[in-house]
Structure 1
Amino acid sequence: MAAPPPAELPAAARRRCYRLPAVEPLVFLATVSLSLQGPLATQYLWDRLGADLGYYGANDSSSTGCGNSSAGSDPLRQEVEALVSHWNLYINLGGFFVDIFSVTLFGPWSDSVGRRPALVLSAAGMALQAAVYLLVMYLHLHVAYFLLGRLLSSLLGDYNLILASCFAYVADTSDKSTRTFRVAILEACLGIAGMLASVGGGHWRRAQGYINPFWLVFAASVATALYAAFCLQESVKQPKPARLFTLSHYKAVYRLYTAPEHRSSRSQLALYSLAFFLLVTVHFGAKDIFVLYELGFPLCWTSDFIGYGSAANYLAYLSSLGGLRLLQLCLKDSWVAEIALVSNIAGLVVISIATTTAVMFTGYGILFLSMAATPVIRSKLSKLVSETEQGALFASVACVQGLCSLVATGVFNSLYPATLNFMRGFPFLFGAIILLIPAAIIGLIEIRGSKADYSHFSPASPSHADG
């Protein structure tokens, strides 16, 4: 066979990778761009569409106009909320249908040519999207051009390809015993970047409007592309030229689930992918409507409070990293994931009934371990395939993540306006109920002693033996 993959190289050879520029700064820069863009774009839609409908109170997020009881039943305000939610749906839907094909094309391609080309292309696409958004704001173009920007970014892989390539990079440069924690570190970078961008973005938007913060979105995306092109060391051992536009890349993803190297891994790939799909769908869906929920009655948050809320949400990445590290000392990864899901469910239930700022932040606090489940699932998926299929595997995960975005925006952005009249927090309660399914899947796999089915993927250990 070809030369062994990086994870099978001697320890000294692998350590050389860690002395080179790491992939974490790249994830940090890309997440800064995305985390600034999301809330700013939603608030811009709120102001623009509100003004178009004659609801000029929407132009001042610091207004206390929604703080009285009559604001809660204001039909014009509810129309603005519904319209913004629908535009978010259109933009995300359009991006998904392009993204799902581009990511599964570029991901397996990176197994041959390397991770860096895919990272450069996706970061350039994000910069192009930010440039289009800036033109919309400068020229006061119709908000439909936001959809054009999203399509251009998705054509080059978008943020999902950045995540897929970076997680594959970590799999290339780590062994199986440390992979879960390495993945968790990468996800913690998402939290740090998101927290800083959210706090800074809220204050910045209130002080200077939308355009200046969006210049940082653009600059961060350009910096991501430059870092990938000139600073990042290639993790694929022997990159070689490969055709991009060929069906073989899609077939590589398909073969992961239909003809895995070990037959017993097929059902586990499917089950863990389903658990990942449901978990990330709830994460995406809740995040999509957090800003609308906080803008509306009775919370009526201003932009700085929205920034604090987003920061509190992202802080869960850091607290989950610490919790994961501590819990791994006495529990298997699967049970760590179960505890994380309990944290997620409880936090969403509290948020669903939040009518005051204190209760809303209490819900955010209960979510402190909510992000510990996703690195566990990513790590388990990575261990089920060979080391030379990591690009295809994480491309498939990105494909699932793209499907999560579609379902989340379709369900949550449609459910939110439909339930405004009887329970504004119902989508969060719905998400908490959905999370019972991945909790059951992970628990069932562990209880049934599934580790014995794929023990040949990891070093033998007496503690892993089935009774």
Structure 2
Amino acid sequence: MAAPPVPEQQQQQPLPPPRRRCPQLPATEPLLFLATLSLGLQGPLATQYLWDRLGAERGYSGPNGSSPAGCGNGSARDDPLRQEVEALVSRWNLCINLGGFFVGLFSVTLFGPWSDSAGRRPALILPAMGMAVQAAIYLLVMYRQLHVAYFLLGRVLSGLMGDYNLILASCFAYVADTSDRRARTFRVAILEACLGIAGMLASIGGGQWRKAQGYINPFWLVLATSLAAALYAAFCLQESVKQQKPAKLFTLSHYKAVYRLYVAPERLSSRRRLALYSLAFFLLVTVHFGSRDLFVLYELGSPLCWSADLIGYGSAASYLAYLSSLGGLRLLQLCLQDTWVAEIGLISNISGLVVISLATTTPLMFTGYGILFLSMAATPVIRAKLSKLVSEMEQGALFASVACVEGLCSLVATGVFNSLYPASLHFMRGFPFLFGAIILLIPAAIIGWMEIWDSNRDYSHFSDASLSPTDD
């Protein structure tokens, strides 16, 4: 008997899967590298432009902030006009940073949870475009000699679109979406290594380029890298959220999603661990930011009195810790759990800061930098542990809150360490670094206690399960 005819709809072949765009490129690493390079170039250049611009408006033509402090006769530092310019630049920097932080605080916690439903790519394109808008406004100020208050406008507009913190949060959430639990720590460490490489290139190249060609040409690179990051996210990056669904953007439910991470009553154990790991992360990153802010000032002063070349080498050495920590993390993971790798990284960080706090010679200062070779191994471990405490549909909310914590770290570090440094000059110039080393004992204790507590809990569960009914 002849087989019945196959309906026309069943005769159609299934459509081939859509082609992957730019399959030869890595995932989010190029995007984060470009965004970090843009930010690393923009920050120091904007501060130096403010110095030159405000100084010229007040008739001050003396050396800029790169002149050695405490290595000469001190007359430059006692100049009242110089002090006025320093105060103005400091106030404008504070206003610009605070404006961006508080606006970004609300936008990051809005877009981050929204990306759990709408996808990561929109949450990467939007802040990259915001950074490009900010760079364009800065260029307009330089070309047209507009008032420096427009810097604040550019910063606020970038903050409304999520700013760099949203890129950071979305990249780490993307990695959490696309990696398994065992490989997540190393994938996060690769992202952090991108931060170090981009920061090193920006710190070394930005200053030399400004000396050779002024401010405008480097800022064109800031604009170009921001646009390149947005284009990469739009046309090359694949969506990592598996089950996308339409979601309203302007709703309080996104803020509630971040709030529920830490107060959900049905997850008491996870809530406690989230809070403790977040505290450890806050203290660790605050010390990182605070000590990095003071390295150059410490090296310029007596008795080190470093030249610009040595300062560049020192900056490169500090950023190389990202790469050495990545390699050390990979090797130590072969024989140790992530927690103990983080503890070794904290020991490296504490020891290096103690040596730097006592450094009176160039070899001893570089010895301190060398001891810091594993100092960045703890942060990817903490990020990965935080990621494993929430579900797949909460990664955006989690890393949005982590990004806000990181922004708060920057503000706290600037206030605490920059206030502590002048207050301790009369008895110990390196005291802020020693203070940071002491603070790092707290996250070391938290991480160690959490690992011991989890091990004891797992052992008790194993012991209970091994009991037979006859043992009761």
Does TM, scored on the shorter chain, surpass 0.5?
Answer: yes
TM-score range, shorter chain: 0.7 to 0.9
Quickly say closer, same or farther: Cα 1:221–1:17, change in 2 above 3 A: closer
Deviation digits for residues 46-84 of structure 1 (CA, Å, limit 9, x no counterpart): 4445555655332494x6796424358635566655654
CA–CA separation in structure 1 for the residues paired with 2:158 and 2:305 = 32
Which residue number in structure 2 is paired with residue 193 of structure 1?
Answer: 198
Residue of structure 2 aligned with 1:399, choices 387, 398, 404: 404
Equivalent position to 1:315, from 320, 323, 332 = 320
CA contact (8 A) 1:346 1:367 kept: yes
Q: Is the 8 A contact 1:96 1:405 kept in 2?
A: no
> Measured at CA, do residues 306 and 149 of structure 1 come closer, stay the same or move farther in structure 2, by a change above 3 Å?
farther
Kindly indicate whether the alpha-carbon contact (under 8 Å) linking 1:109 and 1:249 is maintained by their aligned counterparts in 2.
Answer: yes
Contact between 1:46 and 1:80, CA under 8 Å: does it hold in 2?
yes
Q: Distance in 1 between matches of 2:92 and 2:150?
A: 11
- 1:150 lines up with 2:152 in the alignment: no
Partner of 2:216: 211
Q: Is the aligned partner of 1:168 residue 2:168?
A: no
1:443 aligned to 2:448?
yes
Verify the 8 A CA contact 1:203 1:304 in the aligned structure 2: no
Counterpart amino acid of residue 221 in structure 1: S
If you compute each CA radius of gyration, which structure gives the higher value, 1 or 2? 2
The unaligned stretches of length 5 or more in structure 1 are 1-14, 457-467
1:58-207 matches, cutoff 5 A: 58-59=63-64, 61=66, 67-70=71-74, 74=78, 76=80, 84-207=89-212
Report the Cα offset of residue 126 of structure 1: 1.1
Q: Which structure 2 residue ranges, 5 or more long, are not aligned?
A: 1-19, 462-472
In the other structure, the counterpart of 2:6 is none
Percent of aligned positions that are identical: 81
| Cα deviation, residue 449, structure 1 | 3.3
Question: Contact between 1:20 and 1:233, CA under 8 Å: does it hold in 2?
Answer: no
The amino acid that maps onto 2:96 is I
String of CA shifts for 1:258-306, please: whole Å, max 9, x gaps: 1176431111010000000111112222333444444556655555544
Give the alignment of 1:4-403 within 5 angstroms.
21-51=26-56, 55-59=60-64, 61=66, 67-70=71-74, 74=78, 76=80, 84-259=89-264, 262-295=267-300, 304-403=309-408
Change (3 A) 1:144 1:409: farther
**Residue 175 (structure 1) shift:** 0.5
Asked if the contact 1:133/1:149 (under 8 Å) is kept, the reply is yes
* Letter of the structure 2 residue corresponding to residue 29 of structure 1: L
* Matched positions, count: 441
Q: Distance in 1 between matches of 2:408 and 2:25?
A: 34
How many Å separate the matches in 1 of 2:65 and 2:103?
35
2:417 matches 1:412: yes
* Worse-matched range after superposition: 147-156 or 93-102: 147-156
Quote the Cα distance in structure 2 between the aligned partners of 1:17 and 1:271. 40
| Cα distance between partner residues in 2 of 1:207 and 1:186 | 32
Separation of aligned partners in 2, 1:175 and 1:454: 25
Task: Describe the shift of the 1:447–1:281 C-alpha distance in structure 2 as closer, same or farther (beyond 3 A).
Answer: same
Normalised by the length of structure 2, the TM-score is: 0.84
| CA-to-aligned-CA distance 1:354-400 (integer Å, 9 cap, x gap) | 45544443332222111111000000001111122111111111121
Q: Residue 265 of structure 1: SS of its match in structure 2?
A: helix
Identify if the C-alpha distance between structure 1 residues 45 and 286 changes in structure 2 by more than 3 Å, giving closer, same or farther.
Answer: farther
Of 302-311 and 96-105, deviating more is 302-311
Q: Given that residues 21 and 238 in structure 2 are in contact (C-alpha distance below 8 angstroms), is that contact kept between their aligned partners in structure 1?
A: no
The code of the aligned residue for 1:25 comes to: P
Contact 1:121/1:156, CA 8 A, preserved across alignment:
yes
Paired residue type of 2:315: S
Shift, 1:215, TM fit: 1.4
Distance in 2 separating the partners of 1:95 and 1:28: 21
Whether the aligned pair in 1 keeps the contact of 2:71 and 2:301 (CA below 8 Å) is no
In structure 2, the CA distance between the partners of 1:173 and 1:65, relative to structure 1 (3 Å rule), is closer
RMSD: 3.0
User: In the alignment, residue 192 of structure 1 is paired with which amino acid?
Assistant: I
Matches of 1:124 and 1:282 in 2, distance apart? 31
> How far apart are 1:406 and its partner, in Å?
2.5
> What letter matches 1:259 in structure 2?
A
Q: What is the SS of the residue equivalent to 2:74?
A: helix
Shift of 1:243: 0.7
State the distance in 1 between where 2:194 and 2:302 align.
Answer: 33
